[in-house]
Amino acid sequence: MKKSHVVAASAVALSAALASGSALAHGTLSVATANYNAASVAANAGIITVPWGNGPSAVYTVSGINNNTVTTSLEVNSRFTVTLPTGFSFASAPSLTASGTSPTVAAVLASGGIGSQTATFTISPTGGPALEGTSLSLNQVSVQGATALETPGAALQISVQSTNNAEINNNDAAPVFPTSTLGPVPFTFTSDTGVHATFTGGSGNNIDLTSPSLGTLFNGPTPSDTTTVSIGTLVLSPSGSLSADGSSHQLKTTDTASVTISGFFNGIASADAVVGGSVVSAGTVTASTITIPAVPITADASLVITSGGTLLQPNGSVNPPVGFTAVYTPTASVTDFLGGSVSNSQDAIPYFGGSQISVTNFLTGSDAGYTSLVRFSNDSSVANQLFAVEQPYTGGAPLVGSLGTIGAGVGTVFTEAQIGTATGLTLANSGDRATLTIIAIPGGQGVTASGLLVNPGGVVDNVN
């Protein structure tokens, strides 16, 4: 992966030159980012091959100042130092190649190098000075201690500096780093997980609360109910990063990833990864997670969920859009990429039809003479199918259950115990609490619900 940038040398050094009017070795440092697969670097114990001179490069070019009215050079016997990021050290002898105005310049390694973070070169008399327009390029070299690149998202720099010139103003006053006034800083070393992930959807699915589905089927953009919908298409493809040896990294065609998605999945019977219409990996479902153990790399895998015939739970909303996040990790024995996460903000699955009535955020178990009740009134002209949705204060997925059918013009009171029997949530005492929502199908005007708390002595309070 190559991204070339050319940048000016130290503003401090340039300001000094302009102020003094004397010559200053003013160079530019051009770098092409070497982006590594973090998994490959870790597998190679932090030893990398930097393909300078054979792909990504680091090039220092001597240039003039004051609109090129003052010429500069790296003098014979001056020193040119390359400094690697903190923790890095050379594992093979570094070298420089000259080109441009003075292609015969010979830079001889004088100190540092193998085992050191720095390498200092002397401009040899045999090749003469490096005149303005001369470039010094770092050749391919092995580097050790690059453990920072074992973590995706690393961004590190090298620096260079010309010193020990007879004319002191020919020295770089400070190390020269690659910087840019035209865009982001061009880092010398970066790292990623080894894969590029996309998770897209936007199919417009919802849960149909209307009859005859009563919340047990999905309904997409077309007006027909279905037992299955896709919650997004996941694609994991090579990122284009480098292996530790500096070559373009290749993922194995047999690579797979375990994928976990969090949400509210009561009522879901199964979840599968589907490629080309065929199930390639069957998943497992809990009330709060879907896990598919072997989603293939480099294939468009649709993640399909299937209703189990009971009331389904909604996930997210369409305004603002809230969908799903897939967390992926390499399966056992796969070592050529690292895990990560990717979100699909488009494929929320909300309820459609019916009414969702927020009853109370203080439903509590009976204790010390206190009793929680829920009053429901159906003042509409049709019967309503009722479902209770309880969310424990302690967290976890909401629990759902049927409260039966309430006829037109009928009102009733449910106890906390009746609601708990329907949802499976036991609130033992006043220390156990939950929020409660009633789903009324078809709902509509005149369909209401409210929470009641009966105090010791029979006093009734509305609880919202």
More confident residue, 316 or 226: 226
The predicted pLDDT at position 18 comes to 32
**Do 201 and 347 lie in a common domain?**
yes
Residue 315 pLDDT exceeds 70: yes
Domain that holds residue 46: 4-192
Residue 230 has pLDDT above 80, yes or no: yes
Lowest-pLDDT choice from 213-217, 273-277, 402-406, 420-424: 213-217
The reported pLDDT for the residue numbered 190 is: 96
pLDDT, position 114: 98
Give the pLDDT mean for 156-163: 94
Domain boundary among 299, 317, 351: 351
Q: Which of 78-87, 151-160, 426-435 has the lowest mean pLDDT?
A: 426-435
b/e burial code for range 290-320 (CB count within 10 A of at least 16 → b): bebbbbbbebebbbbbbbbebbbbbbbeeee
Are 134 and 74 a contacting pair, CB within 8 Å? yes
Clarify whether residues 221 and 334 are in a common domain.
yes
Asked if 310 and 453 sit in the same domain, the reply is no
On whether both 138 and 120 belong to a single domain, the answer is yes
Query: Are 304 and 269 in a shared domain?
Result: yes
User: In this predicted structure, which of 37-46, 49-58, 184-193, 199-208 has the lowest mean pLDDT?
Assistant: 199-208
| Strand ranges across the sheet with 34-37 | 34-37, 189-192, 155-156
- Structure confidence at residue 351 (pLDDT): 85
Domain match, 177 and 213 both: no
Does the structure show a pLDDT above 70 at 8?
Answer: no
Assign 322 a pLDDT band (cuts: 50, 70, 90). Answer: confident
Q: How much is the average pLDDT of 274-282?
A: 95
Question: Is residue 1's pLDDT more than 50?
Answer: no
Whether 96 and 135 map to the same domain: the answer is: yes
**pLDDT at residue 66 in the model:** 45
Amino acid residing at 367? D
Pairing relation of β-strands 79-83 and 159-163? Answer: antiparallel
Inform me whether the pLDDT recorded for 189 exceeds 80: yes
Task: Give the per-residue pLDDT at 71.
Answer: 59
The average pLDDT across 172-195 equals 83
Report pLDDT for 461.
60
For residues 131 and 271, membership in a common domain is answered with no
pLDDT in tens, 327-357: 999 999 899 999 999 998 777 888 888 888 9
pLDDT at 458: 63
Assess whether 381 and 330 both reside in one domain: no
Domain end point (choices 140, 160, 192): 192
Could you give the CA distance from residue 29 to residue 34 in angstroms, rounded to a whole number? 15
Q: Is the bond into 223 cis (omega within 30 degrees of 0)?
A: no
Q: What is the mean predicted confidence (pLDDT) over 119-139?
A: 94
What is 184-218 written as a DSSP string?
Answer: S---SEEEE-SEEEEEE-----EEE-STTTTTSEE
Question: Is 460 a residue whose pLDDT tops 80?
Answer: no
Please give the helix or strand (H or E) that residue 39 lies within, else none. Answer: helix 38-43
pLDDT of residue 391: 86
Closest C-alpha to 375, from 391, 364, 359: 359
DSSP-derived pairing of the beta strands 355-364 and 433-441: antiparallel
Whether residues 204 and 113 fall in one domain: no
Residue with tokens 């619900």: 449
Tell me what pLDDT residue 223 has. 65
Q: What is the pLDDT of residue 421?
A: 93
Quick one: average pLDDT of 274-278?
93
As a whole number, mean pLDDT of residues 261-265 equals 91
pLDDT digits (tens, 9 = 90+) for 234-251: 999 999 999 999 999 999
Confidence check: pLDDT of 412 > 50: yes
Is pLDDT at 95 greater than 90 in this prediction? yes
Q: Looking at the structure, do residues 150 and 240 belong to the same domain, yes or no?
A: no
At 411, which CATH number?
2.60.290
Cβ-contact 306, 231 below 8 angstroms: no
Are residue 206 and residue 119 in the same domain, yes or no?
no
Q: What pLDDT was estimated at residue 210? A: 83
Q: What is the domain count for the chain?
A: 3
Q: What average pLDDT does the chain have?
A: 86
Mean pLDDT of 430-445: 88
Instruction: Return the higher-pLDDT residue of 219 and 95.
Output: 95
Which domain-ending residue is among 299, 322, 351? Answer: 351
Residues 429 and 171: their CA atoms lie apart, in Å, by 79
Maximum mean pLDDT: which of 78-87, 418-427, 432-441: 78-87
Q: Establish how many alpha carbons lie within 13 A of residue 157's alpha carbon, considering only the half-sphere containing its beta carbon.
A: 13
